Amino acid sequence: MSRLRADHVTSFSQAQSAVSLELFPDTAARSGGVLSVGGVAATELAERFGTPLVVYCRETLVAQARAYRGVDSDALVVYGVKAFPSVGILRLFASEGLGADVSSLGELAFARRAGLEGDRLIVHGNNKSDAELEAAAAADALVVLDSSEEVARAHEARVRRVLVRLTPGVEARTHQSIQTAHDESKFGLDPEQALATLRVALDGLEPVGVHVHIGSQLARPDESLLAIDRLVAFCARARDELAWTPRLVDLGGGLGVAHSPKEDVPDAHTFASALVARFRAGWPEPARLVLEPGRSLVGRAGVTLYRVGATKRSGGVDYVAIDGGMSDNPRPQLYGARYHAILANRDGPAEGAFRIAGKHCETGDVLIERIELPRPRRGDLLAVPATGGYTLAMASNYNALPRPAAVLVAGGEAELLRRRETIDDLLAYEA
């Protein structure tokens, strides 16, 4: 389980500081009440790059990549690009030996720009277009077959190596929108269909492996272990009935991230080691494993900085409005996600419980229902931890808000990963 790191405990009086920094990146620290990440003060980042701003800690990204790489020296670790498509982060992960899992032409383009191709590129999708299959073939990527009709289409597109996505009928304990392996899932193939698809694929394609992914934001390995048992049973059937064994076995991603102090999730190494051990114990044949994490690689590495604007009391609730909201982070509305926050420019004892609302034209645009803080004032900076995954990636332009910038920080330096959109960018789409 994630533990409080001693270097995150500061000498400040506010008890909350010590607890809350646990959710922040490895390099997060506070000095004189000012939060810094990667040795750069939040106040300086906000001044230089504007707000909202997503700040990624290089050290945490690297540590998470190494935590996965350390599980099995032979395993291929691919970053689930959907968590945050960023060429800079893909390049960083590639330098740590990671590949990429992509599920659209756009994500594929990001991965290729970062220099990924061949075995280090895995192409997913429950409805791949011809263009996506052709682009996968051009990159000599591994393609994960998601339906039986895809065999002929993959062949047509000159895809060579494929995996079959197995739906093991496992209900992951997570929000139902991000379960992916239950019986009625739109993803993958049940064991009978997967076997039939494999049989057809053996004639003309090169089936190299099998894949499972049961869902996202998982807080425990139990259902993943059950899925692995079913995957092993499937491999045994494929061996017995088709004389085929997988060279590659992709165990998917899915490990969650703690967004608030109430959540407890295993660390990446513990979670992935349990999965790998279960598979190895069940399957005696040689096979290279693939791990496909997204959220757990980037989630805790990212902190979003917002500027506090209007504050008001309404019906007994103390509202604090920030300069972003559901356009830069729709997870509270989509999944009922609960976030935590601290003031990033000053410290002090909690002076009340506040509701952090966005600036959008919906009452539901609430980032945090209730949080104890020193009383926020206009101009303060609010830092929301564990916002590196599925935030900017899911951002919209609701209310014609330009999407925020993202920066990478390390060793006292900050570099732009992605610039802030401008209103001119938005107007440029208009006919």
Ligand X SMILES: Cc1ncc(COP(=O)(O)O)c(C=O)c1O
Q: Which residues are catalytic?
A: 361
**Number of residues assigned to the chain:** 431
Q: How far is the CB of 80 from ligand X (least distance, A)?
A: 3
Element holding 370 (H helix, E strand): strand 366-373
> Which residues are 76's β-sheet partners?
290
Q: 30 or 259: whose CB is closer to ligand X?
A: 259
Tally Cβ neighbours within 10 Å of residue 36.
Answer: 20
**Backbone torsions φ then ψ of 287, nearest 5 degrees:** -160, 140
Contacting positions for ligand X (CB under 6 A): 80, 82-83, 101, 124, 180, 213, 216, 252-255, 292-296
Query: 26: part of which helix (H) or strand (E)?
Result: none
**Closest CB to ligand X among 114 and 357?**
114
Residue 294: CB atoms within 10 Å: 23
For the CB of residue 212, give the shortest distance to ligand X in the complex, in Å: 9
Q: How far apart are CB 293 and ligand X at their closest, in Å?
A: 4
* CB nearer to ligand X: pick between 45 and 265: 265
Angle formed at CA 81 by CA 290 and CA 358, multiple of 5 degrees: 140
Rounding to the nearest 10 degrees, give the CA dihedral for residues 67, 70, 76, 79.
10
| Of residues 252 and 376, the one with the C-beta less far from ligand X | 252
Local structure of 208: helix, strand or coil = strand
- Rounded to whole angstroms, how far apart are CA atoms 320 and 378? 9
Instruction: Tell the smallest beta-carbon distance from residue 255 to ligand X (Å).
Output: 6
Give the residue with the Cβ less far from ligand X, 45 or 133: 133
Cα 305 to its chain centre, rounded Å, is 19
DSSP-derived secondary structure letter, 421: P
Taking the complex as a whole, the smallest distance from the CB of residue 180 to ligand X amounts, in Å, to 6
